[in-house]
Structures are given as structure tokens and as C-alpha cells.
Amino acid sequence: MTEPLIPKSGTPKPGSPKPGGAAHTSGHRDTILLSDVPDATAVLAEDASSSAAAGPSLSPAALAAIGVRYEMLGEAGHGSMGNVYKARDRETGETVALKLLKPEIASDQAMMDRFKNELLFARKITHKNVCRVHEFNRVGGIAYTSMEFVEGESLRSVLNRFGGLPQRKATDLALQICSGLKEAHAQGIVHRDLKPENVMIDAQGNVKIMDFGIARSMEAGTRLTGSMVGTPAYMAPEQVAGKPVDYRTDIYSLGLMLYEMFTGTPAFTADNSIAVALKQMREDPPPPHEIEPNIPVATERAILKCLEKDPARRFQSIADLESNLRSAAPVMPPPRMLGSTATTNPNRASTGVPRAAVAAATPASQAAQRRTSPFVWILLGALVVVGALSGLHWLGVVQAANRISPPEAAAPPKPPEFAYEHPAPPPVAPEVPEPKAPVAKSVAHV
């Protein structure tokens, strides 16, 4: 896939489809028939019998009959209606998947009609996210359908191993399922049994919706009465009640799948299928954020809108749901907040992507965090790094300056040597003549 997934420790859940190449792998029961409200005792008995039944291997006569056209390469999966084998078409050289009906089912004309419908309706859908169906045929008492072989595993197998998926991976898979369903609805086809077992994921992460065997066109669906076919854990309330179905029935089923993809927990659980079916009609599931606190608010609203009991209150088209999922797609994982308290789901397997701690913040502040551009976080990170480097440099300069000792006091300068070569004579004081005593003159008087 485009984003690596880390499997949780332990073994897969019981009844999970075995991984590997397959065009269809399913759990212990593909569908049940609901006409009005069946007796719970009968459902429990059916559960026991279906879990005890195992997919039979091909008999030598069947192998010889089918081997004229196909080279059997191995078993790819099995369910309550038959086995799926990987085979090579000798005529075209193409690797295909052969879905073989059990003999007791192949003898039931109603079941045969379902498989003919799978060919007639599924062949009308040409889309990269829908598994191509080639032909329906009978040979040597064996009824089978040949279809595109998908090298991968079912969404059910992925959920069994990983629990909930990372938000970006879950959104990517959901958008691919929407793309395939949108094309089917454009052809007037309602799947009516949409569930993780009927969604394959190949090695490149591409989704393939399959098993349109119980799908009916809109025109034919409005004329149908009686038993409703589907899987209770992924059935819409109107489907459980035996009312007419339309595109919005698939939207409800997809909402149940999204709930499990984003939270890792089914929306409704009970001890038996009837109790689950009644919950679909009467109860609302817990809000997804109570199980996975980091789910975006817009994604949670889209899921809950898909799960409205009244079809008029759901999304009225797959295109509307697709638009909401695109707008809610996370650009990057939400940042882990400091001082927050982490909340874990014990039933949730690790997906390999660390979940951010649950912040004690209001929904408004959480929405503001989701609207923050990633470039802002990059810029803030760069500023923090530059500031840290500047602080370290300044600290190093200060420490280096403290290690330098002060200079010693300088000696007084000496006079130059030439000052001593010709010393100047000491100054001589000028001689001052001593004053003479005056000479007395005698006057001779004659």
C-alpha cells in the first residue's frame, strides 16, 4: 500500500479471511435472508451449522471438467456459498479467479439467478475500483463465475490484523470505494451487500469492490418483495425492515465501514445477528470520538450523517459524501500536545502510526490546530533551531572570554641608547665679578 502498516502482535481474529491473492474472500457467512424478523433460535442454529461447515475441495471429476479451459493454480479463499480458486485461462493466458458454487447451491435456481445477476450487472460497471466479471458458465455439473484476480487481501483481513487505520490511509481507501460506488450508481446498480469482505486491496493499495451478485438495478429493485439479502452488521434499517432500497442504502453500509476503519471498532455489536439487526433499526452508535479521540470533527460528522436511520437525512449521493471526505482529509498528522492525557482503546490494534495524545482543549481549539498550515510549523521549528544555535554560540564565546587571564603590568620604558653616547656637559654657572672696595681718596690741602 501507499502507506506502510505495522501489524499488531498476536494472531488474527478467528474467522478472518486468509491473506493472499484472491478475488473474493469472506468470513464464516456471506449473507443471511431476512423476511420480517426471524426467530433468534433459528439464527443461532444457523450460526452453529455455518461455522462447522468448511469449504469442500474440488472433486477429481470437477477438476477434469474445468481443467479443459482452466489450469487450476490453487485455492484462494472460501465462503458459505462456495470456493474461490486462482486459475490460468488456457485460451487467453490470463490469470483469473473462479468462484465455484457448492453443489447444493448450484441446484437452487434462485441462487443461480443471483450469480447470473452478478455477471449481468457487474459487467455494466467499467471502473478501476470495481472487480471485472468475465463470464458465468456450467460445466460437468459445476456452476462457476470467472472474474478478475486481485493479488491482495480483503479489507476485512486488514481490519482484523491492524484494527483501525491511520486517518490518511482510511480516507484514501474510503475515497476509492466512493469512486467505484459512484460509477455503479451511475449505471443504476445498488450493491446491497457492501461490507469489508467485499472490498479487496491489492499490493499497490488500490481498492476493488466486488460481489455484486445480489445487486439489483433501481428499476428491478422497486418491484422486489419478500426476503431481503444482506449482512446484518452492515445492513441499513430499511433493508432490515424489508423496505425498498436505493443508493442511500449503500451509503449507510459504507458509513458502517468508515466507522470501523477510523475507530477500529464496529458500530454495532451483539451476541447474535438478530440483535445486531435490531440495533441497526433502533439504536445510534457511540460517537466515533469516544473511541478514537483524534478523529477529525468533519470526518465524524460525515460518518454519523451516513448512519442516519431516515434515508432522507443521509447524504443523498455518493458524490456528496466524497466531497465531505476530501474536505476533511488530514494534511499531516496532528501534533502531539504537551501536558495532555492519552486515551487508548483496548480493543484497538496498533497501526504503527503514533497517535497524538488527547489534549484537554475545546473543540474550537482543536479545529484551529487542524487549520494550521504545515509551513507555519516548519517556520517555527526553524526559528527554534536557529535560536538554540545562537544561544550555544554566545555561551561558548562567554566561556572562552572567562578563560583568558588579564595582562601583567608593563615596565616603564627605558631611554634609547643614543642618549648615553655623548652626554651633555653639566651646565657651568657664569662667573660674577666680585665687587671691589671703593678707594679712599685723600685730598692734600696745601
Q: Hey, what's the cell of 25?
A: 474472500
Cα 114–120–122 angle (5° rounding)? 90
- Which CA distances in Å does 57 have to 60, 62, 204? 9, 10, 31
| Maximum Cα interatomic distance, the chain, rounded to a whole number of Å | 205
- Sheet containing 133-139, strands listed edge to edge, beginning at the edge strand earlier in sequence: 70-78, 82-89, 95-101, 142-148, 133-139
Cα 82 to Cα 106, 113, 131, distances in angstroms: 10, 15, 18
Identify the bridge partners of residue 245 per DSSP, sorted by sequence position. Answer: none
Nearest to 66 by CA among 53, 50, 82: 82
Instruction: Output the CA angle 60-64-70, nearest 5 degrees.
Output: 125
Distance of CA 326 to the CA centre of its chain: 13
DSSP per-residue letters across 67-85: TTTEEEEEEEEE-SSEEEE
228-230 vs 142-148, strand pairing mode: unpaired
**Which residues lie closer than 8 Å to 221 by C-beta, 6 or more apart?**
190, 244, 245, 246
Q: Say whether 145 sits in a helix, a strand or coil.
A: strand
Contact 46, 242 (CB under 8 A): no
User: Among all chains, which residue has been given the C-alpha cell 469516544?
Assistant: 290
Active site residue 193: yes
Measuring CA to CA, which residue among 36, 213, 64, 202 is closest to residue 129? 202
Out of 30, 193, 211, 250, pick the active-site residue.
193
82 with 99: CB under 8 angstroms?
A: yes
Name residue, grid cell 432522507. Answer: 312
Active site residues: 193
